[in-house]
């Protein structure tokens, strides 16, 4: 039961990290397209 809970926690953390990473990458791409990245 403990390992099951750990797996759920790791799954949630993995999803959260992927969402945050995708959001950051999206912001960087948007900044580069707008020309604000190298300002």
Q: What is the pLDDT of residue 7?
A: 87
Q: What pTM was estimated for this model as a whole?
A: 0.60
Q: What is the pLDDT of residue 4?
A: 73
Domains in the chain: how many in total?
A: 1
Tell me whether residue 10 is in a domain.
yes
Full residue range of the structural domain in which residue 7 is found: 1-26
Which residues lie below 8 Å from residue 32, measured CB to CB, with a gap of 6+?
38
Q: What is the pLDDT of residue 5?
A: 74
Tell me whether residue 7 is in a domain.
yes
Tell me whether residue 36 is in a domain.
no
Tell me whether residue 5 is in a domain.
yes
Count of C-beta atoms within a 10 Å radius of residue 31? 13
> Considering all CA atoms of the chain, what is the largest pairwise distance in Å, rounded to the nearest integer?
52
pLDDT tens sequence across 1-39: 667 777 888 999 999 999 999 999 999 999 988 887 665
């Amino acid at each position: 039961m403990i390992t099951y809970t750990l797996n759920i926690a790791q799954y949630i953390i993995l999803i959260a990290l992927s969402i945050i990473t995708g959001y950051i990458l999206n912001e960087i791409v948007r900044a580069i397209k707008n020309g604000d990245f190298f300002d």
